[in-house]
Structure 1
Amino acid sequence: MRKNKLGAIVIGLYDLWPAFVVVALLWPLAGTSLFQRVGFESNSARVRAIDGMRGYLALAVALHHSVIYHEFLTTGAWKYPPSAFYGLLGQVGVSFFFVISAYLFWGKLLSAKSSVDFPTLLLKRAFRIGPLYIVAVGAAMVLELVNAQIDYSALATYERAFFNLLLGVFGYVQLSSFGVYLLAGVTWTLPYEWLFYFSLPIMAIFSRHPIARLGMPVALLAFSILMSVGGGSLAYCYLGLFAGGMVCATLEANALLVKMHRHVLSAIALAVLVYIFATYDIAYAPGPMLLCIGTFFLIASGADFFGLLTANRSVRLGEISYGIYLLQGLTFASVFSIAPVRNFAMDNATQYWLVTLMAMVLLVLMALVAHLVVEKPGVSLGNSLVAALRLPAMREAREAAAADAGAWRIRDVSQDNLLTAHNGQER
């Protein structure tokens, strides 16, 4: 923080404290009655601190892109910011998202008492990820159609549009050379998420063996470190983050969490995070990758950052984190497309941060509306479809059980016995 000759506070674009002020000013917003309806009904098995963590991760990625947007408006180049802190905000945020995904879904395999219904799991993920993704990508493509020169005669244009709509499996590719990053490039993570989901049926084979359930993730983590040290693709680091989340889930399943008071765990986790930001310039490397995994393990063990992650407002932000993550580019593009606002923001860094605050408030409100209007109905529709698809299978199982009973001349078969037979068939 600096002052000019008149004593007024002057904010630098890459000063650290404005980012914390922006997040702090969003805290009262998350406590309003507007956010009372957020959340999904089936969240009993979710870890509250991890839910609270998601919101701050999404906000960190948005702040990362907010400073990138300044450079973009100045030079037209979309590139990594010169500030190590704001560069790491985005990369550390994405790193934790990868770890969380692996922790939750590998944990499902470890805790399953019978074989996992993978078609159902993938269908539910499609209805969880897909609806808002379609809305965001659809809006981006419409804006391109309005503002850009589209080559309608090229087959590649239609191919891009088709693959863009496949729920993020292939990410998003602009239809033209339109100079605005309408989605801020955030969709690049979704193909890696989908690849992990598609690999779950194979990994389930290892989840049943008491040694392989830990050995396989550890081996993947070691492999990713080896390949990353050797200068391999960043994809090896992403593999390591997924593997690290799986290791955390396995350790938890075997009751091997760190047994300390949550405040002690919080202090250690906070110190590790500070060390990451003070030491590294990039998060996609073995050192910061392992430290992120270790920090998450402390959170899974009980670190809640002195109650911050488990506070209701944090959890509410976490529930709308997907919208915060996915809609940030559209929000920035909307705000900075207004010429008076853009000119005011680009006059100096202090005014740019004021506009950034306005954009972040708008982003959170847009994510809230998207959660209530798109995400929750989408999840509900997916659950209804899964239930409808299960009914014929359950009916066939009951009929088969009844037929077997008749063949063996069992005269009195109770409903409980039929359900037991059905459950046995599923296993």
Structure 2
Amino acid sequence: MNTLNPLFAIVVFLIAYATSYVINLKYKVNNLSSRYESIDGLRGFLAIGVFIHHSSIWIQYLQTNKWDAPKSNLYAQLGSTSVAFFFMITSFLFISKLLNLKEKEFNWKAFFISRFFRLTPMYYFSVSIIILFVMIINDWKLKVGIFRFFGQILMWGTFTIVRNTSINGYYLTSRINAGVVWSLPYEWLFYFSLPLISLLILKKKPSNLYILISFVFIILYFFVNNFDFHHILSFVGGAIAAIVVKFKPFKTDKNSFFSSILILLCFVLIGQFKNSDNVICKILITIVFVLIASGNTLFGVLKNATLKFLGEISYSTYLMHGIILFAVFYFGFGFEKIKSFTPLEFWGLIFLITPVVVIFSFLGYKFIEKPFMEISKKINK
């Protein structure tokens, strides 16, 4: 059987869904209604899509020693397009907040505090595990100078905004979490750009302090980090969706049969591209997102409580799935053993790992993400 048979991806989705359904029966993580239910459901698909994407890269990497996008458009787009959607969601939510403020003043201090407590705790927890793995692999011995070692940890502490580097000389450091941290600097770039963006939207402008902070961060970012313009287009797509939802230029039924079919058609067309970097592909993704952000539930699928549960725990899934894969492949079986697996054996292992990813993601959300979100709410009162 072909290593990248679409059936494998479908089975992983079904296992993740079944696991989430059982957990959500008891804990009701998503018991609160959301203004953007369709987006919550979409995030559930995206997080598992990235997990499947990196699983397919791992089997390819173990055979060729090259960490490249999967040769299948489907498996490649499960990662590339999913991240594009994540960027659009970020942009949509916060541009929408600015558009809906009207005469009110935006609380920038509360915004940055909430973003810090939302992204940082789970990220630092995941980095701590990466450091632990590196030290175990290196027999708890320093392979670099002490100052360089702590400097490397500091680089990771900045969400790799300054530089994505190995830790303690272990050249596979970035493989431990499947290299997912590359997207987080773009998230921070957007957050720190928001005061400048707000100048075009808000009547009550941010203070000079926040404008200065915004300018300084952007300048430093471009000085120390790489930059791919096509990712910025994803944030633009989210902003377009926010404008469409706010001003409703198109008088159509958001859940019409035509709109849902259009979404499916766009997904089929997106699947013809190798990744989401292409401008035409990005336009198709934007069309899909505008329709979903407007409330289209794709025949009711995106309102599903289990999908919304997966969406709620998606940040932990994003950060932890690669670590779990690495732990199983390196510590559990060993790379050489995994290399000898047939496609069916490899994906059978992924099927067994899938519930573990969902459970650990839930635990990360419940015991790390959620408590720190509550702390930020108390601070911002």
Which TM-score band (shorter chain)?
0.7 to 0.9
Match of 1:238 in 2: 231
Query: What is the percentage of aligned positions where both structures have the same residue?
Result: 26
Q: Any idea what the Cα deviations from partners look like across 1:347-401, whole Å, max 9, x if unmatched?
A: 20011111111112211111011111111111011111222xxxxxxxxxxxxxx
Q: Does 1:111 align with 2:105?
A: no
1:132-147 correspondence runs (5 A): 132-147=122-137
Determine which of 250, 264, 275 is the counterpart of 1:282: 275
Q: Does 1:331 align with 2:320?
A: no
Determine which of 144, 167, 173 is the counterpart of 2:165: 173
**Aligned residue identity for 2:55:** S
Larger radius of gyration: 1
Following superposition, the deviation at residue 45 of structure 1 comes to 5.3
Match of 1:85 in 2: 74
Match of 2:154 in 1: 162
Distance 1:343 1:22, change over 3 A: same
Match of 2:259 in 1: 265
* Whole-Å separation in 1 of the counterparts to 2:59 and 2:137: 21
Maintained 8 Å contact 1:346/1:352? no
**Aligned residue identity for 1:81:** P
Following superposition, the deviation at residue 147 of structure 1 comes to 0.8
* Whole-Å separation in 2 of the counterparts to 1:171 and 1:126: 20
* Whole-Å separation in 2 of the counterparts to 1:202 and 1:261: 32
Match of 1:316 in 2: 309
Match of 1:421 in 2: none
Secondary structure of 1:331's aligned partner:
helix
Q: Any idea what the Cα deviations from partners look like across 1:13-34, whole Å, max 9, x if unmatched?
A: 1111210122022222221145
Aligned residues: 352
Secondary structure of 1:93's aligned partner:
helix
Maintained 8 Å contact 2:49/2:82? yes
Match of 1:125 in 2: 115
RMSD over equivalenced CA pairs, Å? 2.3
Following superposition, the deviation at residue 64 of structure 1 comes to 0.7
- Listed as ranges, the gaps of 5+ residues in structure 1 are 1-10, 210-232, 388-427
Distance 1:258 1:92, change over 3 A: farther
TM-score (normalizing by structure 2): 0.86
Following superposition, the deviation at residue 124 of structure 1 comes to 0.3
Determine which of 84, 91, 108 is the counterpart of 1:102: 91
Maintained 8 Å contact 2:156/2:164? yes
Maintained 8 Å contact 1:234/1:284? no
Match of 2:298 in 1: 305
Structure with higher RCO (Cα < 8 A, 6+ apart): 2
Determine which of 336, 351, 354 is the counterpart of 2:348: 354
* Whole-Å separation in 2 of the counterparts to 1:287 and 1:344: 38
Maintained 8 Å contact 1:38/1:319? no
- Listed as ranges, the gaps of 5+ residues in structure 2 are 204-225
Secondary structure of 1:206's aligned partner:
coil
**Aligned residue identity for 1:118:** W
Larger mean Cα displacement after TM superposition, 145-154 or 249-258: 145-154
* Whole-Å separation in 2 of the counterparts to 1:341 and 1:203: 47
* Whole-Å separation in 2 of the counterparts to 1:208 and 1:46: 22
